């Protein structure tokens, strides 16, 4: 079983998502711009023509890792999973 101190309340989770969204917009802007440029003037060929740019977007920091870091930062006394 997981430690109950590691579960986020709804308010904490909302705050977490807002912070992550703002950080992601700043960090991922160049990656997303690259994808958007690739998709210009394409319709069906986007799926294979922009595959690498899509992978770059999807391989960005995982939500689970970010969630753990947030809990570690906001709840200093809590232990890992």
**Is 6's pLDDT higher than 70?**
no
Distance (Å, rounded) from C-alpha 56 to C-alpha 30?
Answer: 11
**pTM of the full structure:** 0.48
The verdict on residue 12 lying in a domain is: yes
Residue 67 within a domain: yes
Structural domain includes residue 34 = yes
In a domain, 8, yes or no: yes
13-66 pLDDT per residue, tens: 888 888 877 877 777 788 888 889 999 998 889 989 999 988 877 776 555 666
The phi-psi region of residue 10 (left if phi > 0; otherwise alpha if psi is between -120 and 50; otherwise beta) is alpha
Q: How many domains does the chain have?
A: 1
pLDDT of residue 50: 92
**CA-CA distance, 5 to 7, in Å (whole number)?**
6
CA angle 75, 79, 7 (to 5 degrees): 60
Q: What is the pLDDT of residue 5?
A: 57
79 in a domain, yes or no?
no
């Amino acid at each position: 079983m997981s430690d109950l101190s590691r579960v986020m309340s709804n308010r904490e989770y909302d705050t977490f998502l807002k912070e992550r969204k703002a950080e992601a917009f700043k960090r991922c802007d160049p990656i997303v711009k690259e994808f958007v440029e690739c998709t210009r003037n394409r319709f069906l060929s986007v799926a294979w023509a922009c595959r690498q740019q899509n992978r770059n977007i999807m391989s960005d920091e995982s939500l689970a890792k970010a969630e753990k870091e947030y809990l570690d930062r906001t709840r200093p006394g809590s232990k890992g999973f």
